[in-house]
Structure 1
Amino acid sequence: MTTTAIATPTLDDRITGALLGAAVGDALGGPVEGYSPEQITERHGGRVRGIVGPWNGDAWRTARPIAPYHKGDGHITDDTLMTHALIRVYATVRDHLDAHAIAAHLVPDLMSNPRWIPELEAYALPLQRIFLAEKWLVTRLHYGHHDPREAGSGNIVNCGAAMYMAPVGLVNAAHPEAAYAEALDIAGAHQSSYGREAAGVFAAAVAAACRPGATPESVVESALALAKDGTRAAIEAVAGVAAHHKDTESALAPLRAAVAPFDTVGPDYRAPSPAARRPSRVHSIEELPIALGMLLAGGGDYRRTVLGSVNYGRDCDSIATMAGAMAGALHGEPAIPRAWAKTVSEASRLDLHAPARELAAVAREVFARDTDRRRAHETAYALLTADAR
């Protein structure tokens, strides 16, 4: 049962809503990742309406192409693992982050500290679970000793950096421009081209969703105000289509058609085109524009937005992660169905509220630091311009 969202969520509630919403969306999308809406409907006898089991049932340990990961049954995936890892960096640095902080703190954490990995049903190093595009961080920064600001160059261009950038938007709550700039710096260690751009725009969208009175439309407007090149064009195209739909079900095929010209993967998600995931100024990742489109078509309602993202298929765990973060930031924790949140927390054996509490404390500290820095600048500027008055 969904609890009615509170009228004016506080900062703490928006942070909890965004992070909990992202984790729940991730867990819902995981078991149907990589499949089409038609395949999802055939497998589940209709659209997915909640938490479902593995695509291949009890054969998940060996069934390709997912083995050996237990996707489904409320298990979060690498999207949430990376989000929580970034929060731990914030908890250590307790200030704004940059690419060097990723090299100094995130990479050692992935390599050295065993965590409970729900999909493996075991304690393991996060490095043993994350995808190859995320292993790139370790390869380039730890073994290759590349400049952190440029280490993302050469990686496949995908949503790998964008998928865990919600904390950046939350630390910069209500300040999309600052979130965009910080996420671009952080993502330079991981991604390049439109993959890096998407990380900045997603962080900005989450920050915009934290503004009092924010709506799905204002979130998209903030994203468009900052997005560049193919990312901007893709969001504009998808948003234009989404505006004509009042439900996510009718929007599934039109949204895919709108983003297709900008997506390099092609129609078969499991068999990417030869041009897939290469740097470009005219292309975009698929996940962020679709997440924003679902936010619009779903009217910002968490359940509708996330289920639309899940039933879209393809990389739907990342789409639902992003959409869930934005919807959760708009409305706060009460918007997240309690039954879903409880099941995901228990099944994943994770306290999903603890990272939110930690990040909320960090966000307050960073704001205080920013205020002091701004006042110091104002004082210095006043002295510099005293003669002009």
Structure 2
Amino acid sequence: MTAPSTPAASPTAAGGARPSLEDRATGALVGAAVGDALGGAVEGWSPEAIVERHGGRVTGIVGPFHRDEWRTARPIAPYHKGDGHVTDDTLMTHALVRVYEKVRDHLDAYSVADHLVPELIGEPRWIPELGAEALPLQRVFLAEKWIVARLHYGHVDPREAGVGNIVNCGAAMYMAPVGVVNAGNPAGAYAEALDVAGAHQSSYGREAAGVFAAAVAAAFKPDATPASVVEDVLALAKDGTRAAVEAVCEAATRFDDYEAALGPLREAVAPFDTVGPEYREPSLGARRPSRLHAIEELPVALGMLLVGGGEFRHTVLGSVNYGRDCDSIATMSGAIAGALAGAAAVPEEWSGEIARASRLDLHAPAAALALVTREVFARDLERRRAHEALFQRIARNSEA
């Protein structure tokens, strides 16, 4: 990929200081939730349909696409999307944070079986789109119900449970916490997310989970920029995912306005996307395993990050107005942009209203995860030092 001719400067927090770990964690998780809620209102529609419905581009929180008929309008019913309600992207993200709070260390596929599955089937939560307390299992999509079917009922090896599921963005959409816990270590985030996602997805769906987590981790670097985040993930991504990210980001470097970029980014990702031109009418080969293809959401999120120069509003609104699976696109781009610049970059008029409308504390999960991140780093350091001491003894014995 050709880097932008004038790379964006590293974003800074209010007052010119670099954001702290806690500030970046808040930016990542609150930013993801804001992108999710903004995009959820127009999920599944084309950019043209969004303009027709809203009389122009979406510039903030909007109501349901079907207005008062959202309760019965297919294919949305019975979910109240819009009006500041987060979707399953955020519900799953917060659930994964709670798993980290319990384990207080790196996670793997067995963590999904031992902790995430009980979260989904045993602990009622407020579901904003249902306006009621319910088990998260009653809200998540079929690709997430698969986790419960395979692990709880099927007793499948957690490391292999994702095989056979539809290949989509389901695992990638909630991997921001893995990036936070591996702050500044994209390779570590990539490896951990691949392990966690193995219980949920296979093929390019699992690969996207690793690459998205790596992007969030890369955004924590003190001098990170949108271009450096893309460079870091391209060093890790494999097969069709790498090719898709490279193609979309190459196209994105030609634009600094999302309106002009909407069509070219879609054209760039189309050869790798199995869903096809009509999002609500996927092709016969949609969501099947492949080494040549990629999910659409992650490459577009990274492309919009470049188009927006990492600035939160521009990046997220570009993702929202792209349409199609835009709640997940904006979840991903919002997490990365928020991690780059910190919590102050996320507009309070959005985050405050989304927290109120969704009846969720958007800041508490970030604070809890930042604390776990510090604990995990201390554990890693202790483990590394123990290995160094052991290896020195091994090396000395070899030389004797």
**Which TM bucket (shorter chain)?**
over 0.9
Deviations 1:124-176 (A, max 9, x none): 00000000000000000000000000000000000000000000000000000
For 1:76, the equivalent position in structure 2 comes to: 86
- Taking the aligned partners of 1:237 and 1:6, their CA distance within structure 2 comes to 34
Which of 366, 369, 372 pairs up with 1:359? 369
Matched-pair contact (CA < 8 Å) for 1:306–1:323: yes
For 2:5, the equivalent position in structure 1 comes to: none
What amino acid is aligned across from residue 157 of structure 2 in structure 1? Answer: D
Alpha-carbon distance, 1:248 to partner: 1.2
Matched-pair contact (CA < 8 Å) for 1:28–1:52: yes
Alpha-carbon distance, 1:22 to partner: 0.2
For 1:311, the equivalent position in structure 2 comes to: 321
For 2:184, the equivalent position in structure 1 comes to: 174
Alpha-carbon distance, 1:4 to partner: 5.1
For 2:9, the equivalent position in structure 1 comes to: none
For 1:373, the equivalent position in structure 2 comes to: 383
For 1:215, the equivalent position in structure 2 comes to: 225
Deviations 1:302-351 (A, max 9, x none): 00000000000000000000000000000000000010010000000001
**Any idea what SS the aligned residue of 1:116 has?**
strand
- Taking the aligned partners of 1:360 and 1:206, their CA distance within structure 2 comes to 14
What amino acid is aligned across from residue 230 of structure 2 in structure 1? Answer: V
Backbone CA RMSD of aligned residues: 1.0
What amino acid is aligned across from residue 121 of structure 2 in structure 1? Answer: M
For 1:255, the equivalent position in structure 2 comes to: 265
Alpha-carbon distance, 1:6 to partner: 4.7
Alpha-carbon distance, 1:261 to partner: 0.0
Q: Is 1:93 matched with 2:103?
A: yes
- Taking the aligned partners of 2:72 and 2:358, their CA distance within structure 1 comes to 20
For 1:333, the equivalent position in structure 2 comes to: 343
What amino acid is aligned across from residue 103 of structure 1 in structure 2? Answer: A
Alpha-carbon distance, 1:7 to partner: 3.5
For 1:323, the equivalent position in structure 2 comes to: 333
Identity %: 73
Within-5 A mapping of 1:185-204: 185-204=195-214
Matched-pair contact (CA < 8 Å) for 1:5–1:332: no
Within-5 A mapping of 1:157-306: 157-306=167-316
Q: Is 1:16 matched with 2:39?
A: no
- Taking the aligned partners of 1:51 and 1:31, their CA distance within structure 2 comes to 8
Matched-pair contact (CA < 8 Å) for 1:14–1:332: yes
- Residue ranges of structure 2 left out of the alignment (5+ in a row): 1-12
- Taking the aligned partners of 1:143 and 1:385, their CA distance within structure 2 comes to 48
- Residue ranges of structure 1 left out of the alignment (5+ in a row): none
- Taking the aligned partners of 1:55 and 1:376, their CA distance within structure 2 comes to 56
What amino acid is aligned across from residue 168 of structure 1 in structure 2? Answer: V
- Taking the aligned partners of 1:225 and 1:249, their CA distance within structure 2 comes to 29
- Taking the aligned partners of 1:143 and 1:52, their CA distance within structure 2 comes to 39
TM-score relative to the length of structure 1: 0.98
What amino acid is aligned across from residue 346 of structure 2 in structure 1? Answer: I
Deviations 1:200-231 (A, max 9, x none): 00000000000001000000001100000000
**Any idea what SS the aligned residue of 1:123 has?**
strand
- Taking the aligned partners of 2:14 and 2:49, their CA distance within structure 1 comes to 33
Alpha-carbon distance, 1:359 to partner: 0.3
- Taking the aligned partners of 1:221 and 1:159, their CA distance within structure 2 comes to 21
- Taking the aligned partners of 2:15 and 2:239, their CA distance within structure 1 comes to 35
For 2:142, the equivalent position in structure 1 comes to: 132
Which of 31, 39, 47 pairs up with 2:49? 39
Matched-pair contact (CA < 8 Å) for 1:5–1:331: no
Deviations 1:354-376 (A, max 9, x none): 10011011001000000000000
